[in-house]
Every structure is written in structure tokens, then in C-alpha cells.
Amino acid sequence: MILRKRIATAILIGAFAFSAIPVFGQTLVKPESAERIGMQSFWHANAPMPAAEFATRATLVDDNIYLISPSNIVVAVHAGTGVVRWVTRVADPGQTVVGPTHSENFAFFTGPGSVKVVDRRTGQPAEQPRKLRGVVITVAHDVAEISLGRAHGVRLDDVLDVISASGNSARSTEAFARIKITVIGDRTSKGRILQDERTERVRSGDRIWGDIGVPIDAVKLPFAPASPAVANDEDMFVGAANERMYSIRFLSGFQNWQVSTPGNMSAAAVLHGGNLYFCDLDGRCAAATQRRRERIFEFQTEGAIFLSPVVTEDHVLVASNDRSLYCLQRIRMDDSPRRAGDRVWQHRFDDPPEKSPVASGDLVFHRTSAGLFAVSLEDGAEKWNRPGSAEFLARMDDEAYLWESAGRKLIRVKVKDGEEVGTIDIPSADFAMANVENQLVIVGTRDGRMTCLRPKDAPYLRPSQLALVLQNDEKARRLNTLLADAKQKREAEAAARAEAARPAERPAYSFLDDDDWLISTSNRMPVGTRNVVGEDGKLKPKAVKKPKKVKEDVKPKPESKEDEEDVWDDDEEKKDDEKKDKDADDEDSEDDSDDDDDW
């Protein structure tokens, strides 16, 4: 069953691999509409959502936009350029997945009993480092068989070092050759020997060393998680349903530590400056060091805490279900009597919070069920509020952008008093998000259409920005090769189909084109009659040739002079007769040539 699921996942990923390039489509915001709120269209893209799938959740984490379908298929899009980075399935259909959260290099998706860890830029699974140690079994020419196989994590094209087993201590750890794996078995493998300049040959018994990475399908948890996992590039922190917080080395599965909490956690913890900040349903907010779980502070509120805290350089903001927003001192200041965890101020609202607060500049934007409130970060004084469904997106200098989900409107307001400057309707948009650091506002639909807006004075998207994302994205580089191969394959298949549909050609009898193909090459006399019919169709009289004279016997040499003269006279007569016969033959041949012309 597991194998079938993995095969289905691989097919699904392959089906969408060719879509992992920016597909520019129709914008959701017209240029004149964007200009009314001081923005410009930066990019438009169509995310490759699977057939019959749609995005039930859309979230922006750092520079990645995540669109998550009901069957847990995730499409990751680069927020700065609209390039689709990867598409993969993070859990089986029907499972509840929370997150994602980010470390510097990885994205974490928390499921019912495990955490999926992938490279946030390529979507490839994280790899567990492993040291391989084996020996050479046999050597045949330039091929060696070694005692490491698939069970040890060896993969095709892995290159392993060969260490001499001769016992020379000076070179006991120095590699003198390498083996590139070409055939993998369960417990043994074969590879081609790559010899360096040394004259020493690889022999049976030589040692094999290698440092590789084994892909991690998912980090199995020995407990039921209650909160999304957060992590740095080594340790992962998860709140469990057994009222404990765990620290786990996710690449090896080693448990670093655990700490009891008064209640379960539902909100993701926050990592900041080497410390861990987390809240539980008992209303407690605590901070501890990531490595040693040393307690920094604890603060008790009057209600359950369902939302993650917000940590700034000097403060920790906590939205409690007691309808209060708390500002705590993060670290002790030299000029302040407050210690870490002391309350700086508390602002009570009429309704419970709906989202974690957002700190921007000197203001904190807090969303409750009654509306959006802007309070001072220094003392918690309320500056202004806006009733309705508006939520804060981004602050850009002295203005802020809000998204009103009920009316599907993008609103521009002044930060100091909340006065509305401009608004545009985007009826087709289902969600909006923002990246404050890069001044990006992104609106999109459930079927994957997205438009990114930036301030009017921001530079346009350059081709070099797209190229930079693709150059840094190994999977995108592989995709270019796959696209080229697929194009050649399609062209070859089309040529084969055209060749099969072409009617069969008659065989070429090229020798019939020769003019003299019926001419006989024999030097024998022809057999039969020729030139026997005249122009009138009647037989021509047969020409009778005169018989040639038979050469007479040579007379004996005369004994006297007179007899000699008689002999020469006879020869002259003979010559005359031969001349006459020849003339007659010539006349016959002339007649034949005339007949040939008639023929």
C-alpha cells in the first residue's frame, strides 16, 4: 500500500514538473486601477494547480507563496518573481496538515504523526547525513565490487574514496582512488574505478569511505503534535498533545529535551535570537534557550492563548483570549528597571482576537472580531480603528494597505489616522497577502491566478531577477533539461506518426532509365533474317552474293625466265578478279545499309 502511494505521488509530481516555470496570464488588477492606490503591476502568474483541485489555503512565508489543496498538494511560488519553484504532496489526502513554517533552508509541514521536511527552494526532501564504511570485495579490470549497497544508503553515481589496506600509517587515511557507483544491490554494489596519478592499484581488502545524505521521507514523531513544528537548520520544536514541548534533532531523530507545559499548545512557537518563545492554552507565555531549555521568563495571562506571539527586538506581543493585547519586555535594558518578561502595557478590547498582531514601525495592528485597531507600540494607546472585515497587509512609509475580504477590496489608508486614500474592487480575488520587507502585495484566486503589486516608484521586474531565481534553484535547472528532452521526444513522436501515415511508395526501378539496357553485348553474328520486308509490306527479293573464287594451288617455280614471267601474269589476273569480287561485296553492303535506314 505504501509503495502504491509513493508511486502515485511520483507520477503526480512528474505530471506537474513541466509546469514549474512562470506562466504569465491575465492580470487580476488593471493598470489604471492599481494606479489609483499608488501601485503598479509587478508580475502575473498562473500556478499549476492539479486538475479538479483548488487552493483551500494560501499563505506567504518569507519569500514563498504556498497554495495548499484539499488533497495536501502544495504549490510553492517565489513571491518576488512569480516563478513556480516546486509542486509536491506533503501528506496523504484527508490528513490535517498545519504550517508551513521555515528555517533558513527548509520548510516544515506538520501532519498527524510526522513532519514533512523539504528544501524550501527546490521541494526536495531533506537528507540525513551518513558516514559509509566498507571494503573492496573483488576487482576486475576497472570495475570493483564493494560491501555497501542500497540498505546502507548508497545511490547511483555516488563517488566513494578508496583507502589503502597495506598498513602504511602515513597513508592510512589518504584516498588514492575513487569508485563511482554504477550498479546497486541490496548489500553490495559495483562501480568504476577512478584512478589518480599514483601507481598503486585498487586491491581486494582496501577500505571504502564516504559521506552521503539519505533522503528523509518524513520525521516520525513518538507523540501526537498539537502545534505546528518550528525549527532552525538542526533542531525542531513541537508542542505535543501530552502537555509537553519537545526539541528534536530532525535530521537524526535524536530527542534533545522536553519540558512540561500547564496546558496543550495550539499556536506555533517563535525562534528569535537563540531563544524559543511559546504560549499554551492555560494562558502562559514562556521563553527558554533553544539548546539547554534554560528558562528565561514566564508570564501568565487571564485567558487561553490560541495565537503565536510576535517577537521584536525589544518586545514580545501576546494576544490572549481574555480580550487583551499584552506587550512584554523581551530583554532587560540597562536604563530600564524592567526584567525580561515584565509587562510593559496591556490594552483590553471589547472582542477576542482573530489573528496574531503585526508590529510595523511605531504601531501595532491588531485584528479582533469587531474590526482592525492600530495602537502605539510604546504605550498601547489606540490611534484609530476601522470596523468591518479589513485586515492589515503592509505598511509602506506613511501609508498602509488593507484587504477587506467581505467586499474583496484593496484599500489604501494613512498610517497616522486611518483615513482612506483610495480603494479598488477586485471581485475575482479570493485572498491577499503581503511581504513588508520587499513591499509586495499579492492578490490571488483559488484556481492559482495571482497578481503582484508594488509601489509606483519601485523598479520593474528585470529578466536578471528571473534568471537569478532559476540559477539558484537546482530543480528549475533540471526542469530546463527535462523540457528540452520532452520537446525532442514530442518532435520525434510527431515525425514517427507522419511517417506511419505516409502511403507506401512503389519500388524504384532505376535500371529501366538506362537507354541501352536491351542492347546485346554479344560479339557473335545475329541469328535469323533482317530487312526482308519492303515499304509496301511485300518480301524483298533475296540478294544473291557471288561466290568467292577458291584460291588455286601455287604453281611450281618456273625453271626459266619465260616461265617466271607467265607466273606473274597469272598473279595479275588473280588480283583483278579479287578486286571485282570485292566491288560486288561492297555493292551488297550498300544495299543492306539502305535497308537499315528504312527499318
Q: Which three cell numbers stand for residue 44?
A: 502575473
Query: How does pLDDT run across 237-296, given as a tens digit for each residue?
Result: 999 999 999 999 988 888 999 998 888 899 999 999 899 999 999 999 999 999 988 999
- Asked if pLDDT for residue 10 goes beyond 50, the answer is no
pLDDT at res. 439: 84
Give the 3-state secondary structure of residue 272: strand
For the domain that residue 188 is a member of, what is the CATH number? Answer: 2.40.10.170
Give the residues across from 405 on adjacent strands: none
Rounded to an integer, the average pLDDT of 500-504 is 73
In a domain, 66, yes or no: no
Q: Is 433 domain-assigned? A: yes
Segment 157-177, tens digit of pLDDT:
889 999 888 755 445 678 888
**Average pLDDT across the chain, whole number:** 81
**146: confidence class by pLDDT, cuts 50, 70, 90:** very high
The domain of 142 spans 127-215
- 530 in any annotated domain: no
In-domain check, residue 88: no
- 485 within a domain of the structure (yes/no): no
- Verify that 210 and 244 share a domain, yes or no: no
How many of the other CB atoms lie within 10 Å of CB of 259?
14
Q: What is the pLDDT of residue 229?
A: 95
Which of 116-125, 129-138, 467-476 bottoms out in mean pLDDT, i.e. has the lowest?
467-476
Q: Identify the burial level of 165 via C-beta atoms within 10 angstroms of its C-beta, where 0-12 means exposed, 13-18 middle and 19 or more buried.
A: middle
Q: Distance between alpha carbon 59 and the CA centroid of its chain, in Å?
A: 22
Give mean pLDDT, residues 407-422: 93
Same domain, residue pair 229 and 211: no
In a domain, 367, yes or no: yes
Residue 200's pLDDT band (cuts 50, 70, 90): confident
Question: Do 326 and 443 have their domain in common?
Answer: yes
The partner residues of 238 in beta bridges, in order of sequence, read: 246
Q: Are residues 329 and 468 in the same domain?
A: yes
Question: Are the beta carbons of 423 and 441 closer than 8 angstroms?
Answer: no
Which among 418, 379, 378 is positioned nearest to 395, based on CA atoms? Answer: 418
**Rounded Cα gap, residues 147 and 32, in angstroms:** 69
Residue 480 counted as domain residue:
no
159 and 272, same structural domain? no
Among residues 449, 474, 499, the one where a domain terminates is 474
Of 474, 505, 523, the residue at which a domain comes to its end is: 474
At residue 5, the pLDDT reads 43
In this prediction, residue 427 carries a pLDDT of 92
Cis preceding-peptide flag for 100 (omega within 30 of 0): yes
Q: Among 188, 215, 242, which residue terminates a domain?
A: 215
Burial of 184 (0-12, 13-18, 19+ CB in 10 A): middle
What is the reported pLDDT for 414?
95
Residues 343 and 452 grouped into a single domain: yes
pLDDT, one tens digit per residue, over 349-381 is: 999 999 999 999 899 999 999 999 999 999 999
Confidence (pLDDT) at 4: 42
Does 334 share its domain with 418? Answer: yes
pTM of the model: 0.69
User: Can you give the length of the chain in residues?
Assistant: 599
Domain holding 335: CATH number?
A: 2.130.10.10
Q: Residues 290, 356: one domain?
A: yes
Q: Are residues 334 and 464 in the same domain?
A: yes
Count structural domains, the chain: 3
